[in-house]
Chains A and B, each alone.
Chain A
Amino acid sequence: MRAETAARLLRWWTRVYTATLPPAERERRRAEVESDLWESSRDPAGSRQILSRLLLGVADDVGWSINTMEPTSRSSLSWSVGSLLTISVVAGFLIVAPESAAMREWSWAWPTTIALHVLGIVALIALRMFVDLKLIGLSWAVDGVPMATLVQRITPWTLVAAVVVLATGLALVAGEPRLFATNSIFQIKIAAVVLALGNAWYLHAVALRGVAQGDSRATPPPAARLSAYLSLLLWVVVIGTSVLAPYAL
């Protein structure tokens, strides 16, 4: 690979892994890499090694980026990785799922699983609502708590709730996978969940970046407020379709 192409790749990668960092850290790393590239271009060995230096440092770039990013961005990364894994697992499961005899034959399996699934959804949505309601100004329950602290505290519990919802949801689908796969209301529910997760990622990684650490009473940016309204709407759709989906089986 030519040195110019490797340099372009390095610049692109640096923009990617510094995108969610605080502005000072982002500009510093980009400027340091740019300076290093300039020095490399004056050194025959240096210009030949741009690609290898880039590839061998990727793990450190990612690790450093995660450690340096703001708590809300780290939380959004958790959401992104979690969402991607969830979607992959669900998609893989729906493609290869055998019908679960246990879910259909054991009389206690279905009601127990659906009870846990509903509890998980309630917990997941309630935790999300702490953030969403605070953003739209209805924050009496968490008044005075900075957004970064709130996000940091609720993220582990949100992930626990998400795991419960995923596990029980898969078990429910396992009872009748083909019925669920052709159920249009269930498809709307999955689409709403995917959009809600994407919206949560946007909220934390983009809309809230840089303001999350500030004063707990500061007005959030319009994009964050809009994202919070959308989040509330999408979770209402998830609840509604969860209730209606079994009737459309």
Chain B
Amino acid sequence: MARPAGPDVVLDGIGRYLHINRMRRKPGTLVPLEQALCLAAAALRRRGLETFHGFLIAKELQDEGDTRLLTAYGTLYRALARLEQMGLVTSVWEDAQLAADDGRPRRRLYSITDAGLKAATEARAAARAKTRGARRLAKA
């Protein structure tokens, strides 16, 4: 039987015993890191960067979130894999010759999809609504 894709995946095997990946969420909703990744990828696209690699998006997240630490390797690449599974980003390996010419390892190049851009817009709108609500509460 085919395993369903997306955030509602329920795994068998040891996950069943350790309660790993049993996190349930409403279909179509993103956790804060996934929202932040979509927002950062959308911001990079607005600046003309159609594709990004792991370290670049980690730097962008750090700058946008104004945080001291870069997102951890495991957390970042796991979240990117989830976004790819959900169809919010796609990824390809860059041309090996290009990397060899630059004398560096090949980059995995991600790009945000239309669905990802829509998710970023929704995340931005939700954040604005939250801020407005907080301001109203502060005034009251």
Report A's interface with B, CB cutoff 8 A.
10, 28-29, 31-36, 38-40, 43, 45-46, 49, 52-64, 66-67, 71, 74-75, 77-78, 81, 152, 155-156, 159
- Is the Cβ of B55 less than 8 Å from the Cβ of A36? yes
Tell me whether B134 is interfacial, beta carbon within 8 Å: no
Contact of B55 among A31, A40, A59, A62 (CB under 8 A): A40
Closest-by-CB residue of A relative to B70 is: A49
| Contact assessment for B14 and A32 in the assembled complex, using a CB-CB cutoff below 8 Å | no
CB distance from A231 to the nearest CB of B (A): 20
Fill in one digit per residue for B67-102: 1 if any A CB lies within 8 Å of its CB, else 0.
001111111111001000000000001000000000
B73 engages A33 (CB within 8 Å): yes
B78-A38 in contact (CB<8A): no
Provide a sorted-by-A list of 19 A–B residue pairs whose CB atoms are within 8 angstroms: A28-B108, A31-B105, A35-B54, A36-B55, A38-B105, A43-B59, A46-B55, A49-B70, A52-B69, A52-B72, A56-B74, A57-B78, A60-B74, A60-B78, A63-B20, A66-B21, A74-B14, A78-B13, A152-B12
Residues of B within 8 A of A (CB): 9, 11-18, 20-21, 53-56, 58-59, 62, 69-78, 81, 93, 104-108
Residues of A near B56 (CB, < 8 A) are 39
Residue of B nearest to A45 (CB): B70
CB distance from A197 to the nearest CB of B (A): 15
CB pair B108–A67 under 8 Å, yes or no, is no
User: Known contacts being A31-B106, A35-B108, A39-B55, is A61 close to B73, with CB within 8 Å?
Assistant: yes
The secondary-structure label for the interface of chain A is helix
Q: Looking at the complex, which one of A56, A63, A77, A155 makes contact with B72 (CB distance below 8 Å)?
A: A56
Is B14's CB under 8 angstroms from A64's CB?
Answer: no
Q: B17: nearest residue on chain A (CB-CB)? A: A78
Report the separation of the CA atoms of residues A57 and B17 in the bound assembly, to the nearest whole angstrom: 22
B11 to chain A, nearest CB (A): 6
Interface centre among B13, B70, B106 (most CB of A within 10 A): B13
- Asked if B15 and A67 make an inter-chain contact with CB atoms under 8 angstroms apart, the answer reads yes
Most buried by B among A52, A58, A60: A60
Complex Cα gap A10–B58 (Å): 17
Query: Contact at A78–B104, with CB atoms within 8 Å?
Result: no
Which B-chain residue is minimally distant from A75 (CB atoms)?
B13
Please list the 9 inter-chain residue pairs (A to B) with the smallest Cβ-Cβ separation, ordered nearest first. A57-B74, A57-B72, A74-B13, A60-B74, A39-B55, A61-B74, A56-B72, A64-B78, A35-B105
